[in-house]
DNA sequence: CCCTGCTAGTTTTTT
DNA sequence: ACTAGCAGGG
């Protein structure tokens, strides 16, 4: 192996022999290179590839790592265990389903399935009126699982809490857990939690894996949650060859349970840890690194690192203020067109934003200008209704107890099985202590069903039985094709498409799903074994987005900053740098939350290789209402000189409070009053609504434009 | 049981 | 501003 491509610190990490190793790899310092070289080196030294476990967070990262190992150690990469945490856990649970007390053919429920089930659980507990809070409870339950609190432990914890909502959460958690288990399902948190209990309660299994994995490597260690920490620690306990790579400055997933302490305290947790710090950046120009560095320096709790580069020169980071999000978008598009003229391919541009909603104005501007773009994330392929419908059929075939999926498609296409019939089915099931799926086949015994409904249920049952019987002889694609055909889902969409454009696009998506199954199948066949429907589902239920295979077309990229982590682009636009948007929710956010926003900003900036633009607007429409914004404190922290907008002289910390105190203006403002807005000019108040913080006024301005303004956020002046 | 008009939530980030 | 989910009538 050629080590000459590594700098001395990288080489130190690659060549580190036995014992724990912490690699603090700042942005763009060759983190993936270190981890893949290290694996290749281990293989070269005689470690069997099959006894190396490398864990990543995203499927994309896992795929990339596998490819890079393959190129360094040809023919041996496939034996290395390269997985996401969740993928690894799913594999273990299938392997040890009995010991883990899960159904052999368990279904992995994503967060939308989870939310549905939680709403059901809430109804059952009598919290119907709080249905809107399902996502809140979903997140409470998920965080509890990340912290390894099962329903029982959470109830104990809740009983000592003074917060009454904890007790409600505990009740919902317990009912939810019963439901998901009866449906033979696991959610993302369960994957981790159940593996932890498996390893804890079965010493023989634990010792087997502790023995088995000679080396454990974890990428993006700063994003691990407590459960992942325990899994890692347990697996590496015997050989103590644990190598973690990460950057505390890029920890941006605390809302998902990530605990930054895992990386900050690694040296304390694992005795005699080797520490390597990578600070030489190979990605960005000096001005970009310096600006990013000045910003991240405002964070208190971090392992101090300073990015540096040997590269000389580089264009200054540019800040641009725009009137509103429309102007922001057209300015960015204009810059892209200029860049294209001077020879940059479209693939070298990326637009980043804090929230998905911001993508819309960019999409509109790009479409208007005829610039091709790729939107990453937003409406994920596998989360689309029609895709979930199609997959629900497949899930039921494999896991007949899967109630969620059954209820999802039982009347799609319409089969005359409505709410009332389903209620009766559920009641019938409940009386027998079963879930709806389990008593579904006994439909003929259920009272009060209409004959047509009874007939539909019987037909559906027959359809499932027939396909289940044939399933062992079918490949994933054959199975999917038959499912979509025989369930009449496809022909139904075809019919609908004639009158409904949305159905047409859903049909196109389902057809795309079919071709993507085919693709998977062919890729797998190349490796020698056929792909079963079960294996296909396993792969994609942990996949949030289908990797875009058609990268051939030259296009620019749009995505949230979170999704941008780990990527790089020559020219980056970091947009919407406004107080309240980025950092988001300013005012009432804690110091920790603000520091996470700052890390996110740092992540976004350090994606740029050649040129970085920061934009902010003075007014932005949110929820259909115009808010007036001040530039993000991050703009000031970057201390950029030159082309900075005039706002630079403002005292940001002092003005991060609302521009106009609502109380004063809210009470003084009369209908008919003449007001002045810095952007829209002079106008007249037509209506007032709301009170206190939500007080709004409808103002017609002299340019003819009428806008409802939230007084708290609008710098209106009475004249 | 299906359709239509209303209401309420949505926009923080995702394995 | 937009939409998904729901209540109430056909």
Q: Which CATH number fits domain A107-183: 1.10.10, 1.20.140, 2.60.40, 1.10.3470?
A: 1.10.10
Average pLDDT over residues A445-465: 83
Average pLDDT over residues A580-605: 88
Per-residue model confidence (pLDDT) at position A704: 53
Per-residue model confidence (pLDDT) at position A662: 31
A383 CA to C1 C1' in angstroms comes to 23
**Tens digit of each residue's pLDDT (9 = 90 or more) over A205-246:** 999 999 999 999 999 999 999 999 999 999 999 999 999 999
Residue A584 contacts strand B, CB under 7 A: yes
Average pLDDT over residues A255-274: 90
What is the share, in percent, of chain A residues with pLDDT greater than 90? Answer: 50
Per-residue model confidence (pLDDT) at position A578: 93
Per-residue model confidence (pLDDT) at position A717: 61
- Nucleotides of strand B lying closer than 7 angstroms to a protein CB: 1-2, 8-15
Residues 244-303 of A with CB under 7 A from strand B: 252, 255-256
Helix, strand, or coil (residue A351): strand
**Tens digit of each residue's pLDDT (9 = 90 or more) over A353-364:** 999 889 889 988
- CB atoms under 10 Å from CB of A19, counted, come to 15
Do A288-380+549-652 and A8-82+213-229+239-280 have the same topology in CATH? yes
A418 CA to C6 C1' in angstroms comes to 15
Domain ranges of chain A: 8-82+213-229+239-280, 107-183, 288-380+549-652, 381-546, 663-719
Output the pTM of the full model: 0.84
What is the share, in percent, of chain A residues with pLDDT greater than 70? Answer: 88
Assess contact for A569 and A609: CB atoms under 8 A.
Answer: yes
Nearest to A383, CA basis, from A540, A548, A521: A540
CATH of domain A288-380+549-652: 3.40.50.300
**Range scoring the smallest mean pLDDT among A247-251, A409-413, A558-562, A682-686:** A682-686
Note the CATH architecture for domain A663-719. Roll (2.30)
Structure tokens at A458: 């019987």
Q: Are strands A625-628 and A674-677 parallel, antiparallel or unpaired?
A: unpaired
Domain A381-546, what fold? PCRA; domain 4 (1.10.486)
For residue A126, the number of C-alpha atoms closer than 13 Å in the C-beta half-sphere is: 2
Per-residue model confidence (pLDDT) at position A99: 96
| Nucleotide in closest CA–C1' contact with A452 | B1
Residue A111 contacts strand B, CB under 7 A: yes
Query: Which of A264-268, A592-596, A606-610 is the most confident on average?
Result: A606-610
Look at residue A300 and tell me whether its pLDDT is greater than 90.
no
Alpha helices per DSSP H over A370-441: 385-398, 403-409, 419-431, 436-439
Look at residue A686 and tell me whether its pLDDT is greater than 90.
no
Instruction: Name the residue with tokens 């909603």.
Output: A357
CATH of domain A8-82+213-229+239-280: 3.40.50.300
């Amino acid at each position: 192996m050629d080590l000459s491509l590594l700098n001395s610190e990288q080489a130190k990490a690659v060549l580190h022999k036995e014992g724990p190793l912490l690699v603090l790899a700042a942005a763009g310092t060759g983190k993936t290179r270190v981890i893949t070289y290290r694996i290749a080196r281990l293989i070269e030294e005689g470690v069997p590839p099959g006894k190396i476990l490398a864990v990543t967070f995203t499927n994309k990262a896992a795929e990339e790592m596998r490819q890079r190992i393959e190129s360094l150690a040809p023919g041996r990469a496939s034996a290395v265990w390269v997985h996401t945490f969740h993928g690894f856990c799913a594999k273990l649970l299938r392997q040890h389903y009995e010991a883990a007390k899960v159904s052999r053919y368990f279904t992995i429920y994503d967060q939308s399935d989870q939310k549905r089930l939680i709403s059901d659980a809430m109804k059952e507990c009598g919290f119907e009126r709080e249905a809107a809070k399902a996502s809140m409870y979903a997140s409470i339950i998920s965080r509890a699982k990340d912290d390894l609190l099962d329903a029982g432990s959470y109830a104990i914890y809740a009983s000592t809490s003074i917060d009454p909502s904890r007790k409600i959460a505990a009740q919902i958690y317990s009912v939810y857990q019963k439901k998901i288990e009866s449906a033979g399902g696991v959610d993302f948190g369960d994957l981790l939690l159940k593996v932890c209990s498996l390893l804890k309660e079965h010493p023989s299994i634990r010792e087997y894996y502790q023995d088995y994995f000679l080396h454990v490597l974890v990428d993006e260690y700063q994003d691990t949650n407590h459960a992942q920490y325990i899994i890692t620690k347990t697996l590496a306990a015997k050989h103590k060859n644990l190598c973690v790579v990460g950057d505390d400055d890029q920890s941006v997933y605390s809302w998902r349970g990530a605990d930054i302490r895992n990386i900050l305290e690694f040296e304390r947790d694992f005795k005699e840890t080797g520490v390597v710090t990578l600070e030489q950046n190979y990605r960005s120009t000096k001005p970009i690194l310096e600006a990013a560095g000045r910003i991240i320096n405002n964070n208190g709790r971090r392992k101090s690192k300073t990015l540096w580069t040997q590269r000389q020169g580089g264009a200054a980071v540019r800040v641009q203020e725009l009137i509103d999000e429309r102007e922001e978008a057209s300015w960015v598009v204009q810059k892209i067109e200029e860049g294209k003229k001077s020879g940059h391919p479209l693939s070298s541009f990326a637009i980043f934003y804090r929230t998905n909603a911001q993508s819309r104005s960019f999409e509109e501007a790009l479409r208007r200008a005829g610039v091709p773009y790729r939107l990453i994330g937003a409406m994920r392929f596998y989360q689309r209704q029609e895709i979930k419908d199609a997959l629900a059929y497949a899930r039921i075939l494999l896991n007949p107890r899967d109630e969620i999926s059954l209820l999802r498609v039982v009347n799609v296409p319409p089969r005359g099985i409505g709410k009332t019939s389903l209620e009766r089915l559920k009641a019938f099931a409940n009386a027998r202590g079963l879930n709806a799926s389990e008593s579904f086949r006994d439909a003929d015994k259920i009272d009060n069903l209409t004959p047509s409904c009874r007939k539909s249920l019987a037909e559906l049952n027959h359809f499932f039985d027939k396909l289940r019987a044939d399933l062992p002889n079918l490949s994933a694609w054959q199975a999917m094709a038959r499912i979509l055909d025989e369930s009449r889902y496809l022909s139904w969409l075809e019919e609908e498409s004639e009158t409904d454009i949305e159905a047409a696009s859903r049909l196109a998506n389902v057809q795309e799903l079919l071709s993507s199954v085919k693709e998977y199948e062919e890729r797998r066949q190349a490796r020698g074994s056929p792909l079963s429907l079960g294996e296909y589902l396993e792969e994609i239920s942990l996949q949030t987005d289908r990797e875009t295979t058609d990268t051939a077309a030259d296009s620019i990229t749009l995505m949230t900053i979170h999704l941008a982590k780990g990527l790089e682009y020559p020219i980056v636009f970091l947009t919407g740098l406004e107080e309240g948007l980025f950092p988001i929710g300013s005012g009432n956010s804690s110091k920790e939350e603000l520091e996470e926003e700052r890390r996110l900003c740092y992540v976004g900036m350090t994606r740029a290789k050649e040129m970085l633009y920061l934009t902010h607007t003075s007014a932005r429409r949110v929820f259909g209402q115009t808010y007036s914004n001040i530039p993000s404190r991050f703009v000031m922290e970057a201390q950029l000189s030159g082309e900075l907008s005039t706002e630079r002289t403002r005292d940001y910390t002092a003005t991060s409070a609302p521009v106009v105190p609502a109380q004063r203006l809210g009470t003084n403002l009369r209908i008919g009053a003449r007001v002045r807005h810095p952007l829209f000019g002079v106008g007249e108040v037509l209506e007032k609504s709301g009170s206190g913080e939500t007080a709004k006024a409808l103002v017609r301005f002299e340019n003819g434009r009428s806008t409802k303004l939230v007084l708290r956020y609008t710098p209106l002046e009475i004249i």
